Structure 1
Amino acid sequence: MSENDIARIVVDVALHIHKETGPGLLESVYEVILADELERRGLSVHRQVPIPIKYKGRVLGEGFRADLIIDEKVIIELKSIEHVKDVHKKQLLTYLKLSGRKLGLLINFGESLIKNGITRVVNGL
């Protein structure tokens, strides 16, 4: 399954979750629900995955944690805030670069209209 196929499924599931729960829950709650729903659709989901810092050919330990990695291809960064800022998009792009992945989705469940809270971030896709 391609990154784009995975992203379509994730977006569909996020829309359904937001419709069911609405905005305002903690990010960790959305993470658990989203992971469960994606696994029910047959996707491999890993939560809170350490992303090591790589610098000058050396691995310098754990730098960050990706909220979700789907089928080892797509990183999902979740938020439950009023507005996403550019720094959140840059954070996801950094995760993609450090992990060598090509596609990430920044999903802000805090938006009143979830479609306004989904941002696609690419790294050479």
Structure 2
Amino acid sequence: METNRRGAENAEGRELGEDMNRLTGEVIGAAIEVHRVLGPGFLEEVYKEALIIEFFRCGIPHVVEKGVIVNYKGHEVGKGRLDFLVANCLIVELKAVQNLAPIHEAQVLSYLKMTNYPLALLINFNVPLLKDGIKRIILS
């Protein structure tokens, strides 16, 4: 499900391309495989480590715990950390919580604004069916 209901467009208003759709499909497939094997109930760190293994197995380029700088009017005011940056264009944020809350979505949207990447996946592994725990969040 998408947060931006206006369609899959990036900050410049261009539609996200087939490459991005393919990449998100690969990432979701890797996450589904991790969830299929482990199921719900573990801490976020367990899913992160398993997803690293699955990304390597699938040849998905990624950076783990990518640091980002928070700027305010040209001044560094803090730092953030992305769970994954995939192919230098897709943020993947993991959770293992009872329910995703609006603050989780706001966190990911803030990451998109800080980095100007066009798309993020927010994945909650603590669900019976992983498809119910995945949100696409688009920078608009």
2:134 is the alignment partner of 1:123:
no
Distance in 2, Cα, partners of 1:59 & 1:5: 34
| Aligned equivalent of 2:55 | 38
Q: Secondary structure at the match of 1:2?
A: helix
| Aligned equivalent of 1:90 | 106
- Give 1:116's aligned amino acid: D
CA contact (8 A) 2:43 2:96 kept: yes
Give the root-mean-square deviation of aligned CA atoms: 1.3
| Aligned equivalent of 1:51 | 68
Greater RCO (CA < 8 Å, at least 6 residues apart): 2
Distance in 2, Cα, partners of 1:74 & 1:35: 15
In percent, how many aligned pairs have the same letter? 34
The unaligned stretches of length 5 or more in structure 2 are: 1-17
What TM-score comes out, normalization by structure 1 length?
0.92
Distance in 2, Cα, partners of 1:123 & 1:4: 15
Q: Secondary structure at the match of 1:101?
A: coil
Q: What is the number of equivalent residue pairs in this alignment? A: 123
The unaligned stretches of length 5 or more in structure 1 are: none
Provide Cα deviations, 1:50-90, integer angstroms capped at 9, x if missing partner. 1111111233342x111111011101110011100111011
Provide Cα deviations, 1:14-36, integer angstroms capped at 9, x if missing partner. 11111111001110110111122
| Aligned equivalent of 2:44 | 27
CA contact (8 A) 1:35 1:68 kept: no
Compare the two structures and name the one with the higher strand fraction: 1
CA contact (8 A) 2:30 2:58 kept: no
**Bigger Cα Rg:** 2
What TM-score comes out, normalization by structure 2 length?
0.82
Which portions of structure 1, spanning 4 or more consecutive aligned residues, are displaced by more than 6 angstroms? none
Give the CA deviation at 1:3.
2.3
CA contact (8 A) 1:43 1:70 kept: yes
Distance in 2, Cα, partners of 1:66 & 1:23: 22
- Give 2:77's aligned amino acid: L
